[in-house]
Structure 1
Amino acid sequence: MFLQKYKKIKDFAQATIAQCHQTGYVTSIMGRRRPLPRIHARDQQLRAQAERQAVNFVVQGSAADLCKMAMIRIFTAVATSPSLTARLVAQIHDELLFEVQDAQVPEFAALVRASMESLPQAQALQLQLQVPLKVNLRVGRSWGHLAPLQEALDPRLSSSP
């Protein structure tokens, strides 16, 4: 059902696997290379595993590349800002966790959204993604108590009593 709805995903996976069979490696969006020598294995299970790893690396490795680019943009913006003092606490896969003063949340949230959602148009990197990046922002006193940004800024939007 998923592949019927998103037909280009199957094309992407097949093209990635074919390229890996041809070269023996795959690359992320920023050019990081992962060799997969088992792509040529006679054992079908080993070959199938390498094919799955090829597609997975391109997707997850590219997501990591984009996340790192966003971290650099955000760090640079905070370092040059006369008012922002936010700091990165952790990166968990494709999530970034920042510590931000309450008064700075709206400004910092706008910076994060703009930085991350504009990555597909990173002309300096000759990067042009076909799919828009959407960022979900959450805020709270601790990692375990995060709520969507709009609800946190305006409690009237919260669905809980």
Structure 2
Amino acid sequence: MEPAVLYLGMGCDSTRLIIKHLETPRQKRKFKIEAVVSSQVGDESVLIKEQMEKCLYPILAEEGIRTVQIARKSSSLKDGYVVLDDTTNPTECYIRPTPKKIFHRLSDEMLWSGIIPQRAHKKRLCSSKFKKEILSEFHEKNFSWCVKLIGFNASER
């Protein structure tokens, strides 16, 4: 099996991708999932938090899959990302900054810049700096030897 990291969008489609992979018998799997990584924008819904904590995290913990949550460290991309959690026993989905888990939120960026969410051609342009760029940096520093599997909303193709 080829080593891979699954980048989780935390929606139904990327969650289903993980579950489908784990339901596949080991001998038929193409990839060995080294980690599941999500990039928090800081404005995820409570429903997403509950979905992760009650449905997906217990499965990942049972399988012993390394689960990493990262977020943008500051308003400058040069500052990179902060690791909110890195464990094989995930229990909490960090959807908001806390005094112990400080990170820069997408909504803070939009308010500071005076912009509204940008959507064009079914693409979420404003979240690129909060997901794509820091996930790419994280991958290069930690998993450059692995294939990237990226979960995203099927309607955004």
TM-score (normalised: structure 1): 0.30
Bigger CA radius of gyration:
1
The structure showing larger relative contact order (alpha-carbon pairs under 8 Å, at least 6 residues apart) is 2
